[in-house]
Amino acid sequence: MKSKAEILNALPKVIGHRGAAGHAPENTLASIRKAAGLGARFVEVDATLTCDDEVIILHDSDLGRTTNGHGPVLLSRLEELRKLDAGAWFSKAYREEKIPTLRELTSLLKELGLGLNLEIKPTIGWQIPTAEKIADELADYWPDELPLLVSSFIPESLPIIAQRLPHLPLGYLTSAIPPDWQTRMRGYGASSLHCAWPFVTEQVVQDVHAEGYKLLAYTVNDTEVATRLYGWGVDGLFSDYPDRLLALSPEQGS
Ligand code: G3P
Ligand code: MG
């Protein structure tokens, strides 16, 4: 089993956002394969819960944007969700894509040897059951050899993961960095701060590093922005086009 420090120190500078969401339908197995094919060594996906307590990979609480279904995910059974098309909205070439389960995603990551940033994305109101079920599943079958970083915008998700899986590093996910971020990081037991890239400055990078934390930023698809942020020492960037950032310097992905 890898320690927190081993996972954090091995984080690559490029993380495929929702797989490689610029090239393939986000949060599908095709998107993960695409990210790996482009050279990414680590991907980020969003995980949420169905009404029959299954963990699936989907960004929104509603099915409408990224599938041919509609309505709340939390009111849908896995069996119904399996029938939906999660790829055609992006391109006809992907019309066979399904919403993956966390278990299926894990198998593919193992096959490809990719690390994962799993973002807990509960339907609001269902934060606690979502984090508990994700923790149970990870404890049950996550392969020890694969690096895993769990993050969430929902602070109460993180202690649930910490209690069940104390060896995993946790990321505190936010858009802007709140004034009391140090207190929050300590309180949540987080090792990395993940924020929206426009809120990163050179001073922010220095301050976060001075407290002993990693700083990751989303979602960077522009190489000029990436070059500036890497120059300030940011530890990792989430990108829908990991190939663009990897092209800056191939070792960024290792
Ligand atoms: O985890 C980074 C990023 O994915 C957070 O925003 O909305 O793309 O899940 P979102
Ligand atoms: Mg996300």
Known catalytic membership, residue 70: no
Q: Which two tokens stand for residue 72?
A: 């709340």
DSSP summary character for residue 65: T
Of 69, 59, 45, 219, whose CA–CA distance to 123 is shortest?
59
Cα distance from N-terminal residue to C-terminal residue, the chain = 20
Q: Which two tokens stand for residue 189?
A: 């037991």
Of 192, 175, 35, whose CA–CA distance to 108 is shortest?
35
Q: How far apart are CA 158 and CA 4, in angstroms?
A: 15
E strand intervals along the chain:
14-17, 42-49, 55-57, 115-120, 148-152, 170-173, 192-196, 214-218, 236-239
Position 36 scores a pLDDT of: 98
Known catalytic membership, residue 59: yes
The answer to whether the CB of 194 falls within 8 A of the CB of 172 is: yes
Q: Which ligand 1 atom sits nearest the alpha carbon of residue 117?
A: 1
Residue nearest to atom 2 of ligand 1 (CA): 218
Residue nearest to atom 5 of ligand 1 (CA): 218
Tell whether ligand 1 has an atom less than 6 A from the beta carbon of residue 119. Answer: yes
Q: Which ligand 1 atom sits nearest the alpha carbon of residue 238?
A: 2
Q: How far apart are CA 54 and CA 101, in angstroms?
A: 7
Q: How far apart are CA 21 and CA 34, in angstroms?
A: 9
E strand intervals along 93-245:
115-120, 148-152, 170-173, 192-196, 214-218, 236-239
Q: Which residue has the tokens 């050179």?
A: 202
CA–centroid distance, residue 121 to ligand 2 (Å): 8
Residue nearest to atom 7 of ligand 1 (CA): 59
Position 1 scores a pLDDT of: 81
Q: How far apart are CA 93 and CA 77, in angstroms?
A: 26
Position 253 scores a pLDDT of: 60
For 159, other C-beta atoms within 10 Å of its C-beta total: 14
pLDDT values of the chain reduced to their tens digit, one per residue, 254 residues: 889 999 999 999 999 999 999 999 999 999 999 999 999 999 999 999 999 999 999 999 999 999 999 999 999 999 999 999 999 999 999 998 999 999 999 999 999 999 999 999 999 999 999 999 999 999 999 999 999 999 999 999 999 999 999 999 999 999 999 999 999 999 999 999 999 999 999 999 999 999 999 999 999 999 999 999 999 999 999 999 999 999 997 566 65
Residue nearest to atom 10 of ligand 1 (CA): 59
Position 250 scores a pLDDT of: 57
For 184, other C-beta atoms within 10 Å of its C-beta total: 17
Tell whether ligand 1 has an atom less than 6 A from the beta carbon of residue 214. Answer: no
Position 249 scores a pLDDT of: 74
Tell whether ligand 1 has an atom less than 6 A from the beta carbon of residue 34. Answer: no
3-state DSSP percent of the chain in helix, strand and coil, to 5 = 40, 20, 40
Q: How far apart are CA 246 and CA 235, in angstroms?
A: 14
CA–centroid distance, residue 117 to ligand 2 (Å): 9
